Each structure stands twice: as structure tokens, then as C-alpha cells.
Amino acid sequence: MASNTGTVTDTETETKTKRAEIKEQYKKFIGRKILFILFSLILIFIIAGIAVTLGSYSLTVTEVYSKIFHGLFQSEVHSIILHDTFPSIFNKPDVPQEIWVIWVIRLPRIIMGILAGIGLAIAGTMMQGILRNPLASPFTLGISSGAGFGAALAIILSAGFVAGEYLVVGNAFFFALIPTFIILGLTRYKRATPETMILAGIALFYIFSGLMALLMYFSEAEPAVEAYFWMIGSLGRASWSNLLPASIMLVGCVIPLMWKSWDVNVMGAGDERAKSLGVNVERTRIFIMIIASLLTAGIICFTGCIGFIGLVAPHMCRMVIGGDNRFLIPASGLFGAVLLLGADTVARTIIAPVILPVGLVTYLLGGPLFFYLLARKRKEYW
């Protein structure tokens, strides 16, 4: 009896020790995820501060942060923002040139880069999660090509869903949603499997890309060039009037995606296991697809079709912090902002004073970077 009692006690001690070790390892792993998120946030502030200093009007990082901080409490700066947002209502204020350069020319571009990087990366993260496909992104699902066709239609033929100054933006937004609803319509006749959705998205990508190329082929030179630059993607048209709707769309879409993050974690183990744990797989997949598409459309209708952020950022974060979407969503969003801000900084300086479209830089840098990450990975991370 004494021997049996001693064996039981030793077993309980070992079990407690193992539990304590597992808890300690879990805390360290959680700490690494939080540290990566904080590191990405710090990188955003550093790159943004450097980006504001770049240009023909010379400024230092210290001056930039000082003027931004003090500008938050100055009525002149508030007047600048109101004039840039509603030029027909508020008159242009008389302010020093450096204030105008920071708050009207450079800061909206940088903030739009942050919002676009966050939105595209999060949309790509969720699309990869629900489809369990490492190549899923707003591009491969045809959303970006749909937006590009809508913008080209507005630029070349002046035809679209809305009129006036928002013709291109409104057209791009509505046409970005068309691939999503076509895919969802197909799932009513076929089961909403990841394979069905990704294949339908690739087919729509080629259809809209072909239609866009056809429009550009028969158009005159000037509209074709404008449509081409919109198709590549740029932050050059960013303004305070664009930042408000983009911010509202970002916040309104990220909240429900975070709410569904645990369901996506469960779906990663397979549809059957997710159903056994109470997750409505088809409804969740359709819901997330709609929200992620709205998020993508709400971004690219202002920036154009910026590529690779929604594909590369989730993979890089997944390699570092794993696939838990509760942490992967904010980490991918912040790191996507880092990548896009960095790419835009390169686009503005590499052959200054000529400013390249940021989408061109993401194409040239994103492809080799993604290939390098895949070639050097030591273990399976997906």
C-alpha cells in the first residue's frame, strides 16, 4: 500500500510539474505575440516620422513630431483639415508653409498608407483563414480586378453607379463587391467549400482583368494612362476627405472579424471538427467573406489596386507568432501598415524627385520577398 501511495504521489507531482511547464511556455508564447504587435506599432511610428521628413521641403523628425503634437490643439490646423475635407464650405486658412506641407500634403498620405496596410493585410488574413489556402487574397479572389475594371470604366467611358467627383471611387467600390456576390451566388448551387470559392475567384480575376485590358486597348492615350496608374495603386490622391470614410469602413469591418476570430481558429482544423464544436461553417465562411470584401473595397476604392500586402503580411506574421487569429489579425494589420509605409517611402525616394506608384514597389519587392520566405522556412507554419 505504501508503495502504491508513493507511486500515485510521484505521478501527481509529475503531472503538476508538466502542467506548470506548459503554462509557462504558453505565457512565453503569448508574450512573444504581444511583443511582436508592440514592435510593429513602434515601427509604424518610426517609419511615419521619417516619411513626413522626406520631400523637397526639408524637415527633421523632431520638428515633425513637435508640429504634429502642437497642431492637434491649434485652430489653424483644424481649419486646414476642414478645408481639405469640405473645400466648398471652408476657406483655405493662411498658415505657415511647413504646417501646410505636413498636414495637407504628407500626413494624409501616410495615414492612408497605414489604414490601407491594416485593411488589406487583415482582409488577406481572414480570406486565407476561411479558405485554408495560403494563396487566398483580395487579388486572387478577383476583388481587386473587379475594382480596377470599375475604375477603368469610370475613367475611360465616364459610366458608373454614381456621378460627380466620386464617379471613380464609387464605381471601384461597387465593382469590387461584384466578384464577392458572384462567388456567394455560386455557393447557393454548390456547397460553400474553400475549393469552390477560390476557383471561382481566380476565374473572376481573369475575366475582369481581360475586360479592363480591353477597355484600355480601345481607349485614348491619356485615359488609358490614368486607368493604368489606378490599376497599379498609389497613395498620391490621399486627402482628409478620403480618410474619414476609409477609417469608418476599417473600424466597422475589423470589429466583426475579430469577433469571428475564434471560429476561424476552429475551422482551421477542418469543417467536420468545426461543426462538431458548434460552428456553422458555411454561414461563418460567407459572413467573413462579405466583411473582408467590404473592407477591401473600402480601401482600394481610394488607393487603387495595391498588391501583395494582403498576401505577404499574413504569411510573415504567421511564421513568427503562429496561426491564432486572435493575435494574428492585429499583428498582420500592423505589419501590413509597416510594409506599405516602407514601400511608399521607397517609392518616394528611390528616384526622387519622381514619385513611383507604391503598387509598383510592392510588386517588385513583394514577389522576391515572398519567394525568399518560402525558400528559407525551416518548418511548416501553415
**Lowest mean pLDDT, pick from 15-19, 224-228, 233-237, 278-282:** 15-19
Give the orientation angle of helix 61-71 with respect to helix 2-53, to 10 degrees: 90
Which residue has better confidence, 98 or 316? 316
Give the domain CATH number at 167.
Answer: 1.10.3470.10
Tell me the Cα Rg of the chain.
24
**Structural domain containing residue 136:** 2-376
Average pLDDT over residues 70-83: 78
Q: CA-CA distance, 254 to 301, in Å (whole number)?
A: 18
Q: How far apart are CA 368 and CA 372, in angstroms?
A: 6
* Per-residue pLDDT at 12: 65
- Confirm whether 89 is domain-assigned: yes
pLDDT, average across residues 192-201 = 77
Stronger pLDDT, 78 or 37, i.e. the higher one: 37
**Of the candidate ranges 10-24, 37-51, 153-167, 299-313, the one whose mean pLDDT is the lowest:** 10-24
The region of weakest confidence among 101-115, 319-333, 346-360, 366-380 is 366-380
* Beta bridge pairs of residue 354: 351
pLDDT at 216: 85
What is the domain count for the chain? Answer: 1
124 assigned to some structural domain: yes
- pLDDT above 60: residue 146: yes
Q: Which pLDDT score, from 0 to 100, does residue 172 have? A: 86
Is residue 304 one of the residues assigned to a domain?
yes
Of 274, 306, 269, 275, give the one whose Cα is nearest residue 124: 306
Answer yes or no: is 195 within a domain. yes
Q: Which is more confident, 3 or 224? A: 224
Mean pLDDT of 61-78: 79
What mean pLDDT comes out for the span 97-121?
89
Whether residue 188 has pLDDT greater than 80: no
Question: By percentage, how much of the chain surpasses pLDDT 70?
Answer: 89
In a domain, 38, yes or no: yes
* 3-class DSSP state of 143: helix
Q: pLDDT-derived band of residue 26, with 50, 70 and 90 as boundaries?
A: low
Structural domain contains residue 340: yes
| Domain contains 381 | no
| pLDDT confidence bin for 35, thresholds 50/70/90 | very high
What is the pLDDT averaged over residues 40-49? 92
| Per-residue pLDDT, 15 | 67
Which residues have C-beta within 8 Å of that of residue 133, sequence separation ≥ 6? 194, 198
Asked if residue 382 is part of any domain, the answer here is no
Q: Which amino acid is at 137?
A: S
Residue 155 confidence (pLDDT) above 90? no
Range picked from 87-96, 154-163, 182-191, 262-271 for highest mean pLDDT = 262-271
**Angle ∠(351,356,358) on CA atoms, nearest 5:** 130
Assess contact for 327 and 264: CB atoms under 8 A: no
Distance of CA 72 to the CA centre of its chain: 27
162-179 pLDDT per residue, tens: 666 678 888 888 888 898
